[in-house]
């Protein structure tokens, strides 16, 4: 797909990990490119304020990585923050959350390199440093997800995520497009993972462009940043 030249007629939606910054062994180990805050401020100005971050990260993590409090959807759309700074929670923490946490922590204690990330509404099992445990962990999270009707299992790069049903990045993008300064503009989304597919499809369905880092930017976050600068 040809990447559009961004301007005031576009509404820009961006994933973070694997899109704006390179993936790392653990979520806390990512390196923030020093030019990233300036790039995002540039895009926000060029789009007339129509920039939003759509990430699986916690809200505080998004602000730390982006360098400012941009409009955003955190935890895959579970939490929305609008242009006015108002934060809305779209789902509730599952009743099984504490059981998931205890079960996963016990198993991870026997698997060096496996990291359990706690979010407000979901839990993530990172196994990038211990890929030999992928199959065993996959069976475990499938069992936990299957025991609860209100649970969704997300597959990501070397990670499994247990989250409540309802809400995704596509729904978050559509929600932003209903109000200023996004309304009436052409949506453009960039992501890299399976969890970004709903937003990729939604941007296209709304007459815009859903871009994938591997397909459209040669799997290079530097290429994404260069395109945003341009």
Q: Which CATH number fits domain 97-164: 3.20.20.220, 1.20.1420.20, 3.30.930.10, 3.30.70.1020?
A: 3.30.70.1020
How confident is the model at residue 16, as a pLDDT? 98
Query: What angle do the packed helices 221-229 and 36-46 form, to 10 degrees?
Result: 40
pLDDT in tens, 126-147: 999 999 999 999 999 999 999 9
* From 15, 17, 61, 196, the catalytic residue: 15
d(CA 216, CA 55): 19
Whether 216 sits among the annotated catalytic residues: the reply is: no
How many CB atoms lie under 10 A from the CB of residue 63?
17
The reported pTM is 0.94
Q: Which CATH number fits domain 10-90+167-229: 3.30.420.40, 1.10.3720.10, 3.40.50.1000, 3.90.480.10?
A: 3.40.50.1000
Q: What average pLDDT score do residues 27-40 get? A: 96
- Looking at the DSSP bridge assignments, the partners of residue 187 are 11
Q: What is the 3-state secondary structure (H, E, C) of 184-218?
A: CCEEEEEECCHHHHHHHHHHHHCCCEEEEHHHHCC
Domain ranges across the chain: 10-90+167-229, 97-164
pLDDT in tens, 187-213: 999 999 999 999 999 999 999 999 999
Q: What is the 3-state secondary structure (H, E, C) of the chain?
A: CCCCCCCCCEEEEECCECCCECCCCCHHHCCCCCCHHHHHHHHHHHCCCCEEEECCCCHHHHHHHHCCCCCEEEHHHCEEECCCCCEEECCCCCCCHHHHHHHHHHHHCCCCCCEEEECCCCEEEECCCCHHHHHHHHHHHHHHHHCCCCEEEEEECCEEEEEECCCCHHHHHHHHCCCCCCCCCEEEEEECCHHHHHHHHHHHHCCCEEEEHHHHCCCCHHHHHHHHHC
d(CA 203, CA 226): 21
Mean of all residue pLDDT scores within the chain: 96
């Amino acid at each position: 797909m040809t990447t559009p030249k961004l301007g005031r007629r576009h509404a820009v939606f961006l994933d973070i990990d694997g899109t704006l910054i390179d993936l790392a062994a653990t979520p806390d180990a990512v390196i923030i490119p020093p030019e990233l805050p300036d790039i995002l401020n540039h895009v926000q100005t060029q789009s007339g304020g129509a920039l939003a971050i759509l990430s699986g990260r916690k809200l505080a993590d998004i602000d730390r990585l982006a360098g400012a409090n941009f409009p955003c959807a955190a935890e895959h759309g579970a939490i929305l923050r609008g242009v006015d700074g108002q934060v809305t929670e779209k789902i509730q923490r599952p009743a099984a959350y504490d059981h998931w946490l205890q079960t996963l922590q016990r198993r991870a204690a026997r698997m060096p390199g496996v990291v359990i990330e706690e979010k407000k509404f979901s839990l993530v099992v990172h196994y990038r440093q211990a890929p030999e445990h992928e199959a065993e962990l996959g069976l475990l999270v499938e069992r936990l997800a299957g025991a609860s009707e209100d649970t969704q299992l997300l597959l990501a790069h070397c990670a499994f995520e247990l989250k409540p049903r309802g809400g995704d990045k596509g729904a978050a993008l559509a929600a932003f497009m209903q109000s200023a300064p996004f309304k009436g503009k052409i949506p453009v989304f960039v992501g890299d993972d399976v969890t970004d597919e709903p937003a990729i499809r939604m941007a296209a369905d709304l007459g815009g462009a859903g871009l994938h880092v591997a397909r459209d930017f040669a799997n290079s976050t530097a290429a994404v940043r260069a395109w945003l600068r341009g």
